[in-house]
Amino acid sequence: RNHINREMSLKKESRNTGKKTVQFQDTNNQVVYEKGPRARIFKARESLLTDLFKDGNARSLYNVFPGIFCLTMVYSALKDYQREGRFYLGTRLIRSAFAKLDVAMVIWLCMFASSLMVYFIFTLWVRGRRKIEWKGTWDRLFGLVYGLYVLVSLHLVAIWAVMNNLGPATCLAIMLEMTRLLMKSHAFVRSNSPKFLENKQGAFPSVSHYLYFLFAPTLIYSDSYPRTNRIRWGRVVTSFAEVIAIVFMWSVIVENTYVDYLKDYGKTNYTFLEIITFIVECNFAGFIMFILLFYLCHSYFNGTAELTRFSDRLFYLDWWTAENWDEFLRKWSYFVHEWLHIYIYRDLHGVLFPGRTLLAKVLVLLLSGYFHDLILCVASRAFLPLTTIEFLCFVWIRKLVSNKFMLGLLGMEMSCTITLFMMEYYARINCPMQTASIIGYVMPRFLYC
């Protein structure tokens, strides 16, 4: 019954997002409506897994994981002692993956400062627009500055990460954080600029509210959000302890499967059949890693929401019931899908390409795929646009794969993706370029190493 009510509520919200609504806050139900056509209804609600785990049967599945974690650590200790006569428990891979965190913190401070500059430049644009007569030129100047910031900042961070030789996981975290800050900055500018372009009177968003938006686990901007009364520190500790445990489990799985098998790639010849067989063998490991990745996101977002007292925790939907790829992509990361739909798809479909639905969808998928691939390629130092290719394939096969096959293919997709990136990673280590060139750096080295 709760699941049906949730689905009906979401459908009602999606119908209302195209209409103009009046902003108010109900202190009893904590529902917030944002003024304007880009409205999103915020209300106090738990994540789907949190609601499901209130049931005793579902809770019993959760109680299995502490035992699985302990067995994973025992397995890691035995394998470490068998190979090298000492225990690592996944820490060796974690240390190398998260190398140069201190440098990453300096880069993050620069990224955060640039996000604050967006607020002050936007403020300057609004105040200048109220005083000067040549508003069109002023608007175009602001658009040019903002566009350059969006284009340059992400790629500049990528260059810094590569030049400073950050660890793969450190690169991944930095690129994800820069992407998050860019998405939030765009949401702020896109949500507030229409009312000032139309010369509407209203209070300008405060710096404190903008700072809260930067740290709150949402990508949709609103003038107010539902908040909890207090921080439940027990939930915070539990959530981030789960994140740490999942990182260790990921490290153990990767080290004892992909690293152990592919670390000599470039020194030892692997046949095509051996690689395909290895991908299939690691299908189950890939599926476990996919589930762990999902639960890591669940724990991290809920821990962050608890710290910021953000009470709307609709970060994902029941993607495991999806009947096709379209539905899966929407439900897997619902708050990212919302951002793409509200701030990108609507502009493409309603302004740039009116009525051309398929073209707008393809462009959104290409943009999403580009950001995914940029993050993964910088982290792995490999030019492999796998996500963009996958998303384009989804356009053609999105209605052909049923739920049963789709869930099975998730593990295969994860196994194939990790295998290819690991092959390229070790190919670049074991087969360095003889002469430096752009083509040699961009071309996948695992193809000829």
Just list the catalytic residues. Answer: 372
The pair phi, psi for residue 20, each rounded to 5°, is -80, 135
Give kind and range of the element (H or E) at residue 141: helix 135-163
Write the DSSP assignment of 212-256 as a string of letters: HHHHSS-SS--S---B-SS--HHHHHHHHHHHHHHHHHHHHHHII
Q: Which residues are CB-contacts of 149 (< 8 A; sequence separation ≥ 6)?
A: 114, 117, 118
Other Cβ atoms within 10 Å of 160 Cβ, number: 20
- Hey, which residues does 331 pair with through a beta bridge? none
Cα angle value 284/288/171 (rounded, 5°): 120
CA-CA distance, 149 to 153, in Å (whole number)? Answer: 6
CA-CA distance, 385 to 380, in Å (whole number)? Answer: 12
Mapped onto helix, strand or coil, the DSSP state of residue 386 is: helix
CA-CA distance, 18 to 346, in Å (whole number)? Answer: 10
